[in-house]
Amino acid sequence: VLIIECVHSIGLGYLVFKVLGELHAAYGIMALNTTCFIPSVLNIFPSRAKTNDNSGKKCWKTCRRVLNLIINILACMAQISVIPLIIYFGSIKMGVSTEETIYSICCVLFCSLSCWENFLPDGTTKNNTTHDTMARLKKVEQFILSIKFDLQESRPFITATSSLLKIGVTILIGFLLAEPDINLVTGWNSLTSDDILKFTPIICISTCSFMAYYMALTACRLKLQVISFSLACFLSTPVAVVIAMIGCEYNFLSTYSKNSLNCKEELSVDLNSYMYFIYGFILFISIYWISRHIWSPKQGRLEKADILFVNPLYCSILLEQHLLMNRRRHVRRIRKEVEHGVLFRIAVDENKTTLKKIPPMIYACATMWHENRQEMVQILKSLYRVDTDQFIRQRAIEAYILQNENKQVDTAAFEYYEFEAHILFDDAYELDDNEEEMVPNKFVRLFTDVMQEAANAIHKKNIELRRPRIIQSPYGAQLVFLLPGNNLMYVHLKDKNKIRHRKRWSQVMYMYYLLGYRLGNECKERIKLCLKEDKFDDHITWDTEKKDGKFGKSQIFNFLDDEVLYRAENTFILALDGDVDFTPKAVRLLVDKMVTDDQLGAACGRIHPIGKGPMVWYQKFEYAVAHWLQKSTEHVLGCVLCSPGCFSLFRGSALMDDNVMRKYTIKPTEASHHLMYDQGKIVK
């Protein structure tokens, strides 16, 4: 890979320092479209994606594949045609030496090496491919997949190393191709010149290419690719050619730079000949056929740069061509599979897996004690808002299904999630008037009374709430409410004589209850079997081979199905205080962060004190330092070290990792334990 990147820099350097300087400005812009030779050749050999064709559409799909193959060959021929064209115009018509002609041909070929990985066939199969089918994969395909897997897992190191090498190669090519009258002295004098017009070209190409790449990345992340990325790239070459022609005619660009456009008379004699523009148009169409995947993006919203583009960097000279060829054609991820001691590598399309259809599950967990009426109404209003938001999204999906019966619905497009609320009351019981029996205290009764008030305030009308179902439990009791949006809310009444009280132990309780009991109970028998057979190794914590090369997965998931792992990764616990006020938008922002980065274990929202008085003033100062400044700095430099328990979202699989929840159950024996654990905050 490093050799390929160095060769690409050699070709790019020769193109900039030698070829473009000899061409008319308009010709040079059109000549940039000849640098897609390697992708055009690889595009002829599509990935071997097996599909279950419907018999009624099989004929049409076969014809479409044949037509695509024919057009792919024509696009490849258009790119190859530049070689005889260079020979004809270089050696025969312009009298260029044979050596320079060969250099020009190699320059075009070398410049097309940059995006080979995106078009390399990978022999991909569907997720339901059996191991017997994988065993029949060809050795060549396995070799290709092994290369792509190594690139996938070591991308940061390769990118950093190749960037340094490319800088050195570019500087070396610049010295070798420099004019005889240019040396270190004259070069240094021009660098130290006060004339800003000398630096206009390099400033423009550096700033404009960076801004273009940043806006292209933003457009793809916001799912505005067709209009703001694809169409913009499509129009860039025609607009640049028109500007070059007008600049040669009226010379208006000389005001802004000392380097005028290359518009020599001997080069512009045949500029009006339509044949050159027809050939340029053919090259232009060929690269957009090769990169036709840009018109039908498959990635999700707010994806990371390495998901949207194969190479996280960009090429300032061939910006348009590099953006087109570097935009990922698919979202396949190479992963390892072992069967009968034989290692296979398969490409899995993560967007098409059935596991991706499982929507995020959000458990809103609030801890309460002696909150007053206003604080209770505040938290209930927030929960009702989320309940209403989830209900609206569910209704939108149902309406979409009714209108599009034969079309598969993508719940991610509706930002759909499932929701369930859990309220944990500490010290929820007291003796009755006769001091004979433990009954719910006045705070629990107040909470049930204000539920109706909060529901009416959110829905702007009288809402009839059903009576809760009372369930006796080992720690006290449960009150199960059905919210207006058909979501459930569990109120856990804790008896301090039966279970540990205080906020930290309430958090431990709902973590073990939701993740260990609710989620883990589905695969309890398999976990018990692994424990009996002693398959867990205390010395092995991090696993990198079993699950798509991801780090930090608990050993438990190695013995369970991928569906259990994905459900754990897609289960989120929203830790809340009993007096917090929030909106569904704030929750969705946290979920977006977690969904777009599966390596993220927790995310906390920016919280603001509300109210009046000196205590609130002090809280604002404290939050400004500890939350807005300190946590923002931690986020930029690495990760937030302490997630506040008042409004944080935790990934289920991260909490289920080895020795995470168990560490939070350590009894405080030192002062640091009280600060780390009993304050209700989770330290990473």
pLDDT tens track for 459-491: 999 988 889 999 999 999 999 999 999 999 999
For residue 349, what are the CA distances in angstroms to 128, 298, 327, 355, 550?
Answer: 11, 10, 16, 11, 16
Q: At 548, is the pLDDT very low, low, confident or very high (cuts 50, 70, 90)?
A: very low
In this structure, what are the phi and psi dihedrals at residue 133, rounded to the nearest 5 degrees? -65, -40
Whether 158 and 2 have beta carbons less than 8 Å apart is answered as yes
pLDDT value at position 408? 76
pLDDT score of 530: 57
d(CA 296, CA 328): 11
Residue 683 has pLDDT above 80, yes or no: no
Q: How far apart are CA 187 and CA 182, in angstroms?
A: 7
The Cα 426–Cα 367 span in angstroms is 8
Q: What is the pLDDT of residue 542?
A: 33
Question: What is the predicted pLDDT for the residue at 64?
Answer: 84
Q: Is the per-residue pLDDT at 422 higher than 90?
A: yes
| Average pLDDT, integer, range 168-183 | 79
Whether 446 has a pLDDT exceeding 90, the answer reads yes
Question: Residue 211 above 90 pLDDT?
Answer: yes
Mean of the per-residue pLDDT values of the chain:
80
Give the pLDDT of residue 490.
Answer: 94
- The alpha carbon of residue 112 and the mean position of all alpha carbons in its chain are separated, in whole angstroms, by 27
- Taking only the tens place, the pLDDT of each residue in 318-347 is 999 999 999 988 877 776 665 554 555 555
How far from the centroid of its chain's Cα atoms is residue 331's Cα?
A: 11
> Which ranges of 87-154 does DSSP label H, i.e. alpha helix?
98-111, 116-119, 131-135, 139-153
Q: Note the pLDDT tens digit of each residue in 344-394.
A: 555 555 554 545 568 899 999 999 988 899 999 999 999 999 999 999 999
Location of structure tokens 């990325």: 229
* Most confident segment among 261-270, 543-552, 637-646: 637-646
| pLDDT score for 53 | 47
Q: Which segment of 441-445, 535-539, 540-544, 553-557 scores lowest on mean pLDDT?
A: 540-544
The answer, yes or no, to whether residue 684 has pLDDT greater than 70, is no
* d(C-alpha 266, C-alpha 559), whole Å: 74
- The C-alpha atoms of residue 358 and residue 652 are separated, in whole angstroms, by 14
Query: What DSSP designation does 605 have?
Result: P
Q: What is the pLDDT of residue 124?
A: 47
pLDDT of residue 203: 86
Return the structure tokens found at 466.
Answer: 């059903």
Q: Mean pLDDT throughout 112-139? A: 63
Identify whether the C-beta of residue 231 lies closer than 8 Å to the C-beta of residue 216.
no
- Asked whether residue 450 carries a pLDDT value surpassing 80, the answer given is yes
pLDDT-based confidence at residue 125 (cuts at 50, 70, 90): very low
Give 230's pLDDT tier (boundaries 50, 70, 90).
very high
Residue 588 has a pLDDT of 92
CA 248 to chain centre: 44
Tell me, what's the pLDDT at 251? 77
Q: pTM above 0.85? A: no
Would you put residue 549 in left (φ > 0), alpha (ψ -120 to 50) or beta? left
pLDDT of residue 522: 61
CB contact at 8 A, 127 and 348? yes
Average pLDDT over residues 141-160: 78
Geometric angle at alpha carbon 601, from 596 and 602, rounded to 5°: 90
Beta pairing class for 418-425 and 361-368: parallel
Lowest-pLDDT choice from 125-129, 144-148, 200-204, 448-452 = 125-129
pLDDT in tens, 50-95: 444 444 567 777 888 888 889 999 999 999 988 888 887 766 666 6
Confidence grade of residue 533 (pLDDT, cut at 50, 70, 90): low
Residue 463 exposed, middle or buried by CB count within 10 Å (0-12, 13-18, 19+): middle
Cβ pair 575, 648 in contact under 8 A: yes
Helix (H) or strand (E) holding 188: helix 184-191
pLDDT grade, residue 228 (50/70/90)?
Answer: very high
Q: Residues 6 or more apart from 10 whose CB is under 8 A from it?
A: 110, 169, 173
Nearest to 337 by CA among 547, 543, 140, 128: 547
Determine contact, residues 364/574, Cβ cutoff 8 Å.
Answer: yes
What does the pLDDT read at residue 215? 94
pLDDT-based confidence at residue 637 (cuts at 50, 70, 90): confident
Rounded distance between C-alpha atoms, residue 604 and residue 684, angstroms: 12
Query: Would you say residue 179 has pLDDT above 90?
Result: no
* Residue 345, H or E segment: strand 342-349
Mean of pLDDT values over 620-629: 80
Task: Compute the average pLDDT of residues 304-309.
Answer: 86
Of the two residues 103 and 263, the one the predictor is more confident about is: 103
Q: Is the pLDDT of residue 128 over 70?
A: no
